[in-house]
Amino acid sequence: MSEPEYSDDYTDPRLAVLYDQLNPWAADSEFYLDLVMSARSALDIGCGTGSVLKRARAGGHTGRLVGLDPAAAMLDQAKERTDVDWILGDLGTVSFDREFELVIMTGHVFQVFLTDDDITAALTAVCAALADGGRFAFETLNPRLRPWEKWTGAAEVVAPDGALVRAANTSPRMTGGGIVEVVGSFTSPGWEREVRCPSQLRFVDVGELDAFLSEAGLSVVERYGGWDRRPFTGEQLEIITLATGA
């Protein structure tokens, strides 16, 4: 068997075309779609394949919609809709000045920021992007539930070219400092080699999260523990936060 090939998640077009099948529309997407539909302008940071903004436009949103992501292969999927502004980059390469009524980070994008400095820089940029009274909505997984211990499943999907692809997670582990490493493994009968995608996600508890938000000039206005807007009690999987410029 050939040595595996290594790729950053989602930068490989063979994986980006599978993303929506592996992460189908669900209650979290509906939650964010409702927020976007009630804002006149929205920025989706780490928009990936752009599913929320594409649905918002298809659903009649007439305001400014901007999706930002550093993975060209993911944005290529988003670009099937040309009436949304898709920007290749991240908060280090693009900045916004009080332009959006709503900023969102969906699909645990907040957790890609690994160091304290990364988190503070990202949240400061989000704060600067918010128009007066604008809101920032995002979720992060609750470390108290140690969710990574269950990231061992596998799924099979059919790629657009008809090939069967098996996706699996292997070896999730907490490495310290709240950072979990997990390796995604993708195989397909037509591929010469397995594609492995090591990735890291940072976990913060609510106390740390609120300290980061406050340092960046953001204050929490709503917090939920489920996509049905049930209050967060400390025991739920998702920490869903809506914050505004302080």
Q: Which of residues 144-203 bind ligand SAM (CB under 6 A)?
A: none
CB of 8 to ligand SAM, least distance (A): 8
Q: Please give the radius of gyration of the chain, using alpha carbons only, rounded to the nearest integer.
A: 18
- For residues 48 and 143, which CB has a smaller minimum distance to ligand SAM in the complex? 48
Does 17 sit near ligand SAM (CB under 6 A)? Answer: no
3-class secondary structure, 9: coil
CB environment 167-205: b (16+ within 10 A), e (fewer): bbbeebeeeeeeebebbbbbbbeeeeebbbbeeebbbbe
> Any idea how long the chain is?
246
From residue 24, alpha-carbon distances to 21, 77, 91, 166, 198 in Å are: 5, 14, 26, 16, 22
Near ligand SAM by CB under 6 A: residue from 70, 134, 143, 184 = 70
Taking CB under 6 A as the binding criterion, the range among 106-114, 152-160, 189-197, 228-236 that sits at the site for ligand SAM is 106-114
State yes or no: residue 74 binds ligand SAM (CB under 6 A).
Answer: yes
Near ligand SAM by CB under 6 A: residue from 17, 36, 42, 46: 46
Candidates 35-43, 67-75, 94-102, 227-235 — which segment interacts with ligand SAM by CB under 6 A? 67-75
CA-based angle 4:7:10, to the nearest 5? Answer: 135
State which H helix or E strand residue 87 sits in.
Answer: strand 85-88
Q: Which of 43, 45, 56, 195 binds ligand SAM (CB under 6 A)?
A: 45
The contact set with ligand SAM (CB under 6 A) reads 10, 23, 45-48, 51, 69-71, 74, 90, 106-107, 109, 112
